[in-house]
Amino acid sequence: MFALVVRFDLKDARSAEAFDELVATTGAGIRTSEPGTLVYATHVVHDEPLARVFYELYRDREAFEEHERQPHVQHFLAQRDRYVASTRVEFLTPGPSKGIG
């Protein structure tokens, strides 16, 4: 398995709204055309209305790379910087867990 967490801090309330719309559109593509994407969970951070956290779990590194090549993901990557003040990506090695294999 291959996993990562991404935190986006958005510029302002208008950017957050547009970012959330972009995420919804991207998520539809992920759900319908990425069998190697096991979990793609997006979250609003409690008490931080301009923060978003994504948890992503892929079958393996190859599935992640395939995800990155998808047209809906390429569109997201091309548009996101319009709304984002900062981004933090952390790649994870899954340990003992429930529900992820």
Tokens in use for 44?
């609003």
pLDDT of residue 94: 84
Q: Is 26 exposed, middle or buried (0-12, 13-18, 19+ CB in 10 A)?
A: buried
Sorted by where each begins, the domain ranges of the chain are: 2-92
pLDDT of residue 100: 78
Strands (E), 11-98: 37-45, 48-58, 84-92
Q: Flag whether pLDDT at 7 surpasses 80.
A: yes
Domain 2-92 indexed as CATH 3.30.70.100: yes
Interval 23-82: pLDDT, tens: 999 999 999 999 999 999 999 999 999 999 999 999 999 999 999 999 999 999 999 999
pTM: 0.93
pLDDT of residue 101: 67
